[in-house]
Amino acid sequence: MDLGPHASFIVASYAAAVVVLGAFILWVLLDYRFQRRALRELEAQAPRRR
């Protein structure tokens, strides 16, 4: 597909979207894993309710 004389601007726009959204999704997934792990560890240490 011919993107014309301003192809670099079009490619840069889509690349920015992929990088920012990709980084955000990765951060959300890693944060979820981190919080789940921290919760499991703390639940093992936390005092039990009677």
Q: How far apart are CA 37 and CA 32, in angstroms?
A: 9
Q: 3 — phi, psi (to 5°)?
A: -95, 5
Q: Which two tokens stand for residue 27?
A: 């951060």
Residues 16-45, one symbol each (x = binds another protein by CB under 8 A, - = not), give xx--xx--xx--x--xx--xx-xx--xx-x
Q: Should residue 50 be labelled a site residue for another protein when binding is judged by CB under 8 A?
A: no
Give me the residues that bind another protein (CB under 8 A), please.
Answer: 1-4, 6-7, 9-10, 12-14, 16-17, 20-21, 24-25, 28, 31-32, 35-36, 38-39, 42-43, 45-47
